[in-house]
Amino acid sequence: MKKIRTYRTRFKKDIVAEWLLPVKQSNKVLILCDGLPVVPGKNDLLDFFSKQGYWVFYPRYRGSWESGGSLLARSPHLDIIDVIDGLFKKIENLHTGQKYIIKKPKIFLLGSSFGGSAVILTSQDKRVTAGVAFSPVVDWQAPSQEEPLEKQYDFLKAVYGMGYRLKKSNWDKLIRGNFYNPIKQVSLIDGRKLMIIHSQDDKVVRFKDVKKFVKQIGANFYPLKRGGHLSARLIIQPVWFKKIKKFFKV
């Protein structure tokens, strides 16, 4: 299997991102919004979208992995907005020092689970054309069968160590429900910019909560009978990429 060599850059000093150029000249940009917890590794998606003609960026939220700062000190979707700000400036390949300019970037978002929340909230930014979220968390106060928030903090610290620099007080902001929570911003979200894919047998994020949320915001919705907690990697499958390409109108 061919090894994919990605580039590195930084946004607002703290945020480290992997990225790839499009294989042909383009102003299309895709930002991958990661789930949590994960070990970073989306070279397949970076390579796929590069070959589809996208500038594709895979940032680490502040306080996670290579990025500086403290996780959840501020809403993670604001980190994605900081990345968007940086797309309108010169982008440096830190390996070589070479800098690039994207002329009039057309910005798309892709994420799942925790990253689906980032997609939904960041879509409020007028510079975002559209976003796709697989199995997104839409309400942090909704019960989760497999990953209750009250237990996840200790799990993160034990299993991932300094991969996530996280204070309990910041994690508790999710539990209280007024922070990084799409359900609290329903009136501000334009569902026409969003495609949401969710499975009825998801035991991490309940289907009924997502279905209700989708109806409230008027998003494009693809419910599945089976599939569990879906990964954004589904987008590589021809049946899904065809739908999403049509939704992106590219």
CA atoms within 13 A on the CB side of 89: 11
Which residue, chain included where needed, has tokens 């007080």?
Answer: 169
For residue 28, what pLDDT is reported?
98
For residue 1, what pLDDT is reported?
47
Encode pLDDT of 136-186 as tens digits: 999 999 989 899 999 999 999 999 999 999 999 999 999 999 999 999 999
Q: How far apart are the C-alpha atoms of 53 and 30, rounded to whole Å?
A: 10
Q: How far apart are the C-alpha atoms of 247 and 14, rounded to whole Å?
A: 32
For residue 191, what is the DSSP state? G
Helix (H, G, I), strand (E, B) or coil at 64: strand
Encode pLDDT of 4-60 as tens digits: 789 999 999 999 999 999 999 999 999 999 999 999 998 999 999 999 999 999 999
Phi-psi sector, 127: left (phi>0), alpha (psi -120 to 50), beta? alpha
Helix (H, G, I), strand (E, B) or coil at 96: coil
Q: How far apart are the C-alpha atoms of 241 and 125, rounded to whole Å?
A: 24
Is the pLDDT at 2 greater than 70, yes or no? no
In whole angstroms, how far apart are CA 125 and each of 187, 215, 249?
14, 21, 19
Encode pLDDT of 80-98 as tens digits: 999 999 999 999 999 999 9
Count the Cβ atoms, other than its own, within 10 Å of residue 104.
6
Q: How far apart are the C-alpha atoms of 247 and 89, rounded to whole Å?
A: 27
Encode pLDDT of 193-205 as tens digits: 999 999 999 999 9
Is the pLDDT at 249 greater than 90, yes or no? no
Longest dimension (CA), the chain: 48
Residues with Cβ within 8 Å of 113's Cβ and at least 6 positions away in sequence, in order, are 35, 36, 134, 135, 136, 137, 204, 205, 229
CB 68 within 8 A of CB 74: no
Encode pLDDT of 111-128 as tens digits: 999 999 999 999 999 999
What are the structural domains, with CATH classification, of the chain? Answer: 7-248 (3.40.50.1820)
Residues with Cβ within 8 Å of 174's Cβ and at least 6 positions away in sequence, in order, are 72, 140, 149, 180, 181
220-246 average pLDDT score: 94
Phi-psi sector, 97: left (phi>0), alpha (psi -120 to 50), beta? left
Q: If you average pLDDT over every residue of the chain, what do you get?
A: 95
